Structure 1
Amino acid sequence: MPKTMKQEQTLNALAAFFANTSHFILQGKGGCGKSLKASVLTQYFQSRGCAPICGDTDPVNSTFHQIRDLNVQLVPITDGGAVVQRLFDPLFETLMTVEQVTVIDNGASTFLPIAKYISTNYVLEALQQAGKQVFIHCVVTGGQAKDDTVTGLLSMIDLVKKSKSNAKIVVWENEFWGIPEFNGKPLAEMPWFKDNSDVIQGLVKIIDRNSDAFSTDIRIMTEKHLTLRQVMDSEQFGVMSKSRLYRVFNDIYSDLDRVFNVPSE
């Protein structure tokens, strides 16, 4: 259905709102859903009128790159099987020059190298000087990976604070492996979370709906490397599956609108 003039104006305004923002998915724990978050984040920006430039630096499990509908570029950062920090240079030089919103996914194997590169090369400060607003998206889960993902989040908070830049952290609370609680308290009520509110932009929740139907739909969509648009156009997904996935995405989009303080119409 063609968009009305008002809808076009709204999308153009949102695209301008998100222009010159750079988004990094960073978490040292593997298997916590980083690539899914990168995919959802990219689709969110598309739904808000943006044309994101996307990159995947994971040389082992380039899941984000495999989502063909998002046109994700695979960023070569290895030489002879080893991660080479100087190979990050072209990526960050590109980020400093483009005006579109950018989304960069990073695997567990590249977490430490890219974090070290960002720190030693003063990347956050350089991006700020280039007129970019940086957001680091970090996933926290429940279950066995809880402590490891919290450690990853704390290291990103420390990275941002030491940079003295205006970079912000967006925390994604993934409940599919259990709700991350600490002595019965939710993540957002932890003293160390509240004490770092100056660098934490906000919290996005991936809700566990206590239904195998929702988790199965998400798993199938992920395994097939599909976007929500492709799901909605596919005959392989029934009406109920499409409805469930739409609800998941819509809830996340609403959280992201709140986190980014998206202006209302």
Structure 2
Amino acid sequence: MNTVHFILQGKGGVGKSLVSSMLFQYIQKNKNCVGIDTDPVNATFSRCVDLNVKQLNIMDDDDIDPRKFDTLMEQILETDNEDKHIIIDNGASSFIPLCSYLKENNAIDLIKESGNKVVLHSIITGGQALGDTLAGLGTLASSFDAPIVVWLNLYFGDIFKSGKTFEEFKIYQEHGHKFQSVIQIPLRKQATFGKDLEDLFSSRETFDTAINNSKVPIMVRQRLKTFWTEVQREIDKAQLV
């Protein structure tokens, strides 16, 4: 049985490609992974040279062509059923088109009926985008019968509303039974850890590659190792493998 992971969020710049990359790196330690990048604007996921990620063009001139999602489905359903994990990074601009396609075509059911498991992933971020990201999560929870892994990204601020934590939010009270796990991305000092992570993503390398690269300064490697260890502990909770 293959597991298909959809990373979906209608708000841009909240860390979808970061989550896709970390999820891929985590799972590929024990399982075969296939990555598909459908982001028509920022194909960040497919740029990491150490990951097996293919870019899927869903554009027709300047518009998203929903029929090109047929190709995505074919790639999912034609992947050898060898306990692989298929990780799909979808851009903010194609969030509504893809969700509409999946819903109208009963695509999630088709994937499951073909002997696969489906897991949806969505990112919640603090700050001004909190409301938008909660709305995106709400769309997934109300539209699809599939477990959801929620990733909390505190980079832009605390995920706190009217004196309540995420687990006390209305969306959690209504849809918490669908949330397979809530993963918190570690929050570290931006001047040190933040800069190191930015450089890592710009270099298009994986954590392991950078950590084992003697040309990378030793304290940078130490911070990356610390962050990556914390991330893996968080993902462990979701029991995805």
TM-score, normalised to structure 2, is: 0.93
8 Å Cα contact 2:211-2:224 kept in structure 1: no
C-alpha deviation, 1:159, in angstroms: 1.4
8 Å Cα contact 2:33-2:52 kept in structure 1: no
In the alignment, which of 20, 26, 42 is matched to residue 44 of structure 1? Answer: 26
- For the structure 1 residues 213 and 192, does the alpha-carbon distance in structure 2 shift closer, same or farther, using more than 3 Å as the test? same
RMSD value over aligned CA atoms? Answer: 1.5
In the alignment, which of 96, 110, 125 is matched to residue 77 of structure 2? Answer: 96
Q: Cα deviation per residue 1:31-63 (whole Å; 9 max; x = unaligned)?
A: 11110110000000112x112010000111100
Q: Which 4+ stretches in 1 moved above 4 angstroms?
A: none
8 Å Cα contact 2:35-2:88 kept in structure 1: yes
Q: % of aligned pairs identical?
A: 34
Structure 1 unaligned residues grouped into runs of 5+: 1-18
User: Which residue number in structure 2 is paired with residue 112 of structure 1?
Assistant: 96
* Counterpart residue type for residue 59 of structure 2: T
C-alpha deviation, 1:216, in angstroms: 0.9
User: Which residue number in structure 2 is paired with residue 75 of structure 1?
Assistant: 56
Q: Cα deviation per residue 1:6-31 (whole Å; 9 max; x = unaligned)?
A: xxxxxxxxxxxxx5110011001111
Structure 2 unaligned residues grouped into runs of 5+: none
**Equivalents in 1 of 2:240, 2:112: separation in Å?**
20
User: Which residue number in structure 1 is paired with residue 113 of structure 2?
Assistant: 129
**Equivalents in 1 of 2:101, 2:63: separation in Å?**
15
User: Which residue number in structure 2 is paired with residue 3 of structure 1?
Assistant: none
C-alpha deviation, 1:94, in angstroms: 2.1
SS in 2 for 1:205: strand
**Equivalents in 2 of 1:149, 1:192: separation in Å?**
11
C-alpha deviation, 1:79, in angstroms: 1.1
**Equivalents in 2 of 1:23, 1:197: separation in Å?**
19
C-alpha deviation, 1:236, in angstroms: 4.2
| 1:145 paired to 2:129 | yes
In the alignment, which of 190, 194, 209 is matched to residue 215 of structure 1? Answer: 194
8 Å Cα contact 2:46-2:54 kept in structure 1: yes
**Equivalents in 2 of 1:27, 1:59: separation in Å?**
14
Out of 190-199 and 86-95, give the one that drifted further: 190-199
User: Which residue number in structure 2 is paired with residue 5 of structure 1?
Assistant: none
Out of 133-142 and 237-246, give the one that drifted further: 237-246
SS in 1 for 2:118: strand
In the alignment, which of 81, 84, 101 is matched to residue 65 of structure 2? Answer: 84
Q: Cα deviation per residue 1:132-164 (whole Å; 9 max; x = unaligned)?
A: 11111100000111111111111111111xxxx
TM-score, normalised to structure 1, is: 0.85
Paired residues, number = 238
**Equivalents in 2 of 1:226, 1:188: separation in Å?**
34
User: Which residue number in structure 2 is paired with residue 29 of structure 1?
Assistant: 11
SS in 2 for 1:171: strand
| 1:20 paired to 2:2 | yes
* Counterpart residue type for residue 148 of structure 1: D
